[in-house]
Amino acid sequence: MRKIIALLLVIFAVCSVAACDSAPGPAAPPANEPAAPPANEPAAPPANEPAAPPADEPAAPPAADGDWGYIQGNGKLIIGITEYEPMNYYDADGNLTGFDTEFAEAVCAKLGITPDFTVINWDTKEIELAAKKIDCIWNGLTVTEKRKENIAFTQSYLMNEQVVVIRSADVDKYKDAGSLVGKTVVAEAGSAGESAIEADLADSNYVAVAAQASALLEVKSGTAEAAVIDLTMATAMTGGGTEYSDLVIVTSIKMLPEEYAIGFRIGSNCVAVFNDVIEELTRDGTLASIAATYDLTGLLIK
């Protein structure tokens, strides 16, 4: 009897061990699948997705869009100009210089783009701007309500006005608008000077010319009695010690004051971008320094 009981206990023990060995456990991963990472380690990103940057490194900023994105993508700003001292002109060594030239170079340096100056026909400047032959007009561009229909302006940076220029020999003949009735008066086609003649010297014989410098030459040569040009140019290019030393400004004929600004395409987001840099260059004294170089300190808008 004791032998039978002992045998039953042995059989029971063997069955218990077999039952434990057959209990299900976690399945091993298939041979072609990587093992899951330990619970305290983050899973790696899928192979076709870039890893997120470390928490202490900022993500790259998104690319700019709109007009500024277009210019940024090209890496340069195509600037429409005419040769016009003291704004954009060539010095004795053949280098392009001037207030607007240096101003544009300073702004572009801040923005990480290259200025590309190109001479344009001033009378078709708005067409060239809209067609993207140029990116902006930056050449003593006067802000007017009419131009605002086709041009988006930055904040103004320089004061200006239109002035009448005559030969010094005629100072006693032309002292007011009435004395120029029926006389030949010239101005650059499409310029603020042309608009001033239409408004203030409407009874003169107006003739359009290709450039402001051409207007001065017409007066000097005697083919016109007077020219209407920007004060900035007249101050720099007429009077003693200049190429047009025999020409003078008629200070008794007053025309409305004006302001210069940079002109971009309508709706361009460049206006806000460039306004920020203009304000920065105004605060740090860069703009004042450039103005002093060209004797324009008194006209600078602060």
Query: Which CATH number goes with the domain that contains 275?
Result: 3.40.190.10
109 and 82, same domain (yes or no): yes
Tens digit of pLDDT for each residue in 168-180?
999 999 999 999 9
158-167 and 257-260 beta bridge pairing: antiparallel
Identity of the residue numbered 231? L
pTM: 0.76
- Looking at the structure, tell me whether residues 138 and 187 fall in a common domain: no
Is 293 found in the same domain as 281?
yes
CA end-to-end span of the chain, whole Å?
119
> Do the beta carbons of residue 251 and residue 174 sit within 8 Å?
no
The Cα 292–Cα 248 span in angstroms is 23
Query: By three-state DSSP, how is residue 116 classified?
Result: strand
Which letter does DSSP use for residue 148 in this model? G
- Do 253 and 265 share a structural domain? no
The pLDDT value recorded for residue 20 is 42
- DSSP structure class, residue 184: E
176, part of any domain: yes
pLDDT at site 166: 98
Tell whether the model's pLDDT for residue 9 goes beyond 50.
Answer: no
- Dist CA 213 CA 98 (whole Å): 15
For the stretch 123-146, pLDDT in tens is 999 999 999 999 999 999 999 999
Asked if 178 and 147 sit in the same domain, the reply is no
Domain of residue 83: give its range. 66-157+261-299
Report the relative pairing of strands 76-81 and 114-119 from DSSP bridges. Answer: parallel
